[in-house]
Structure formats: C-alpha cells, structure tokens
Amino acid sequence: MTTFLGMPGLPVATERGTLRGPDTFPVAARRALADTQLRKNLGHATSTIRAKRARVVGELDDWEELRAAGAAIKADVMARLPELLVQLEENVTARGGHVHWARDADEANRIVLDLVRAAGTPDDPVTSVVKVKSMATQEIGLNEALAEAGIAAVETDLAELIVQLSDDTPSHILVPAIHRNRAEIRQIFLDHMPDVDPGLTDEPRVLAMAARAYLRRTFLAARVAVSGANFAIAETGTLAVVESEGNGRMCLTLPQTLVTVMGIEKLLPTWRDLEVFLQLLPRSSTGERMNPYTSMWTGAPRTSDGAPDGPQEFHLVLLDNGRTATLADEAGRQALHCIRCSACLNVCPVYERTGGHAYGSVYPGPIGAVLTPQLAGMHGHGADAPAGGDPVDSLPYASSLCGACFDACPVRIDIPSMLVHLRAKHVETAQAQRRVPGLPASAENAAMSAAAWVMQDAGRFSFAERGLQLGRLLARDGRIRSLPPPLSAWTTSRDVPAPPAETFRKWWARTRGDRS
C-alpha cells in the first residue's frame, strides 16, 4: 500500500503521468546536461528574459509594494476560499454561464468531453476543439483524454503548437518550446505543418506568419474552444486570460461554446485586485509593461446594446486535483499563490542548465519543485537514492537553495523555505515507513544521525576532528582528488583541500586558552 503525504481524506492528484515523470531529477538532469544544444538554447532564452524583466521591473518604484499586496490578496483568497468560490459561482451563473466542479483530473476530463459532445448534433458532431494555452488542462491530460474519445484538440499558442506538432512535451510554464531554437522550429514546421511554404526561413517573423496561415481557417471555423484562466473575480464573476498572439482572443471570441478549466486557487476577491495582478504578471512573465492582449468576460457576454458578444454557451470547470491536499499544509499552501508567470524558472540556475523536462512534471522549475510534490504526493522513497527513488520525491532536492526564485516571485512565495519544509516532510515519511523499527531508514539517515550525535557535543566534535586529520594521508600537494562513495560524487569534478594540521579549536586553546 502506498502512503501519501497530506491530510487523511484529502486525496492528491489523479495519476496521469503529467506530474510524475519516468526518472528522478538527477537521472533526467544528467541526460539534459549532456545536450549541448539544449544548454545553449536555454542559456540564451533565460538570459534574454531575465534582462527584459529586470528592465521593466526597474521602471516601477513601487514594485515591492505591489508584491506585498499580491501576497496579501492571495493569502486572503486561501483563507476564504469556500465563500469566494461560491460567490464566483453565483455571479457566473447569474450572467448566463454554467459552473462545474471536478474533484480530480478524470472527473474534469469527463465534464469537458460531455460538454464538447453536447455542442454537436448526431448529424454534425464536434470533432475538434481549439485550445488556448492552459496549465490546468495540461495537468489533467485533457488533450489525451479528448483524443481517446476521437476529438482533436488543436493547440493555438505558437509554442504549444511547436510542441504539439513535434509530439514533444512542454518544458516551460510560459514558453513551452523554450528548449527549441529557431532552426529547430523551422525544421518542425517543414516536417509536420501541412501546406507549409517549403521556402520557409528561420526568421522568427516568418515562422510566426507560418503559424498564422496554418491556424487561420481553424480559428474561423471553430465551434468549441477550451481555455484556462489567469484570474477569476469572485465579486463580479469575471474571467481573465492574458496572452500575446491573439490566439486567445480567437478562441475566447469566435466559437459558440467556451469551456474554461481553472484551478480553484486562481481566484481574486475583487475587481480592484486586478490593479495589482495586471501590473505584476506581464512584467514578471514576458518582461513587458503589458502583454499585447488581455480578454475579460463575464458569463455569456453581451455588448452594451445587449447583443451577443462571444460564446453564449460558457462553462467554467473548477478543479481540485490535489489542490486541497496542498492547502492542508500550512507551510506548503503558499505554492497555491502562484500566478504561473515563470519568473522563478528564468532566474533559477538549476532550471537554466537542466531545462524543464528534467522535472518530469508539467510544472517545472522552482515552483514545480514545491507544487508538484504537494499536488501529486510524495512516497517517502529514495531519501538517499537519487537514482532509484520516486521522481516526485526527488524534486524538493533539485535546488541549491540559492534563493533567486524568492526574489523574483511577484507574489513573494518563499520557495526556498518551502523546499526545506518538503525535504523534512519527505524524510519524516521515509522514517515512518522504515521496515525495521529502531534502525535508520537509510544509509544517509544513519550518517545524518551519527553526524548529529557528534555535533551536539564539543568533546565528540573535537574527537571527530582528530579523525578528519587522517584525511591528510589521502592528500597530495595539499589536495585530495578521490574519495569513496557517496563523497565520490564530489570528487568526480572537484578536489578537496587537505585538512589543516591544526584545527581552529586547537589553535585557540594553544594561543588563547586561558580565556573563556
């Protein structure tokens, strides 16, 4: 039987392979690090976006105040989540929309599938839907679920399209094809895009035009669209989608039916709260003062003259899928404050070098390392087995705790502290599962216990220091080039200096021992 972390009765996400990858982080990272093209693409893209973000954030002298407000609003949302969700539901329903609730991925997929089917007729069934990039639908594996039912989901965001055409998986929250450069994208289009101009160049403008031409007819003929949502305003029932290309506007405006799948945490209490988030999000994500397009709609939208304006069949699917399990952990629930801007990915030295696929989850990078283990649950496996343990369990360790993510986060999520918290949770789970009571859970655990026993007494510590002195025998020219496992992982690329002839403690006793 599998034991998951979290509060009893609060189940984690449905296992659909979108949160738990095939390999642990160290194994997948090793593979990614060997790909020099990937390293170059990521290095170029993340340094570009870091500079852009720094420039536009620097334009605002009230950035810290905006961050503080953003954090406070999100904390308030969590505290009043039941009431705010019910308020949102009332307002959406009052304005002609329909609200559905989904406990997990399977239930959400079933709801969407039924709605897509209902939008067609027996004579004229709906066989495809257009999609706006959405993390929630990726998380629940909606495209795959629709495909199983014979319905094609067409991704319309350029980066999502690149990923979909090449049968790849996203590697970044905002720019899912960040791991591809222009030459690779050109080749993907030539290989997989029907009717593409064979003379296609790798100029980004030309590639964007190819996507425009390819999707144009699909947009104009679409009957059903599926989207996510960046924000939902409880007070008004308004939904907001923030985008750049206009593919979002196409999906949110032209079809008769719109289905929006949204995590229950994406709420904001009031209309006014948008004044904070519409400033925080674009500057943090694409490094723009404002993204090209933001669409907002309430229920089945009407113009001021009362004429229909956009989809008159509007369905909002509210998704749990492990979010309540996350909410139950007071030290971990901040992960639900995330607005999916990706700033933490772009500043993370680990992400920059491994890319997103190494995380094995649709949520990669620092936020993924704290969100995924809470949504999907950790098993407590592999506390000291980075290669053999559970992929999700390895994620909280995929960080040097450098803290760059916390500084970049527009809603001040303290990711480093949360990583430390989740590591503790992971170890405690492993310890609770140990096979022989009284024995350490792992070799690592045994070493840590021994080290702790030494470290709580100066006498034991100085005795251990004497043992360390033996290390001088291993050294040549003052350096040690090879150590036995697990420390061999250090010495494969780094020397260790020879221990000193005299520890500080001994020096102090010798020179100043009469004091203190």
Residues β-bridged to residue 479: 476, 497
Stretch that binds another protein, among 117-125, 139-147, 369-377, 441-449 (CB under 8 A): 441-449
Q: Which of 49, 153, 343, 370 binds another protein (CB under 8 A)?
A: 49
Query: Does residue number 490 form part of the binding site for another protein (CB under 8 A)?
Result: yes
Long-range contacts of 431-439 (CB under 8 A, 24+ apart): 432/3, 432/380, 433/3, 433/380
Q: Which of 9, 122, 199, 437 binds another protein (CB under 8 A)?
A: 9
Residue 401, number of CB atoms within 10 A of its CB: 13
Stretch that binds another protein, among 118-126, 190-198, 285-293, 363-371 (CB under 8 A): 285-293
Binding residues for another protein, total number by CB under 8 A: 179
Query: Does residue number 149 form part of the binding site for another protein (CB under 8 A)?
Result: no
Binding residues for another protein restricted to 94-113, rule: CB under 8 A: 95, 100-103, 107, 111
CB of 443 vs another protein, minimal distance in Å:
13
Q: Which of 68, 113, 190, 475 binds another protein (CB under 8 A)?
A: 68
Q: Which residue, 57 or 177, has its beta carbon nearer to another protein?
A: 177
Stretch that binds another protein, among 15-23, 115-123, 138-146, 417-425 (CB under 8 A): 417-425
Q: What are the respective helix, strand and coil percentages of the chain, to the nearest 5? A: 50, 10, 40
Stretch that binds another protein, among 143-151, 187-195, 208-216, 361-369 (CB under 8 A): 208-216
- The one-letter amino acid code at 73 reads I
Phi-psi sector, 62: left (phi>0), alpha (psi -120 to 50), beta:
alpha
Residue 191, number of CB atoms within 10 A of its CB: 10
Q: For the purposes of burial, counting CB atoms within 10 Å of the CB of 306, is it exposed (0-12), middle (13-18) or buried (19 or more)?
A: exposed
Stretch that binds another protein, among 83-91, 120-128, 144-152, 187-195 (CB under 8 A): 83-91
CB of 321 vs another protein, minimal distance in Å:
10
**Close Cβ partners of 60 (under 8 Å, ≥ 6 residues apart):** 66, 279, 283
Q: What are phi and psi of 38, to 5 degrees?
A: -60, -45
Stretch that binds another protein, among 119-127, 224-232, 237-245, 359-367 (CB under 8 A): 237-245
Nearest to 368, CA basis, from 338, 404, 407: 338
Binding residues for another protein restricted to 243-262, rule: CB under 8 A: 244-247, 249-250, 253-254
CB of 93 vs another protein, minimal distance in Å:
12
**Maximum distance among all alpha carbons in the chain?**
98
Query: Does residue number 397 form part of the binding site for another protein (CB under 8 A)?
Result: yes
Query: Does residue number 185 form part of the binding site for another protein (CB under 8 A)?
Result: yes
Q: Which of 134, 137, 143, 298 binds another protein (CB under 8 A)?
A: 298
Question: Could you give the CA distance from residue 434 to residue 163 in angstroms, rounded to a whole number?
Answer: 42
Stretch that binds another protein, among 135-143, 191-199, 323-331, 359-367 (CB under 8 A): 323-331
CB of 356 vs another protein, minimal distance in Å:
14
CB of 505 vs another protein, minimal distance in Å:
5
DSSP track, 278-326: HHHHHHHHTS-SS-SEEEEEESS-B-TTS-B-S-SEEEEEEE-TTHHHH
DSSP track, 253-264: HSSSEEEEEEET
Measured in whole angstroms, the distance separating CA 429 from the mean position of its chain's CA atoms is: 23
CB of 187 vs another protein, minimal distance in Å:
13
Residue 127, number of CB atoms within 10 A of its CB: 11
Query: Does residue number 438 form part of the binding site for another protein (CB under 8 A)?
Result: no
Q: Which residue, 237 or 368, has its beta carbon nearer to another protein?
A: 237
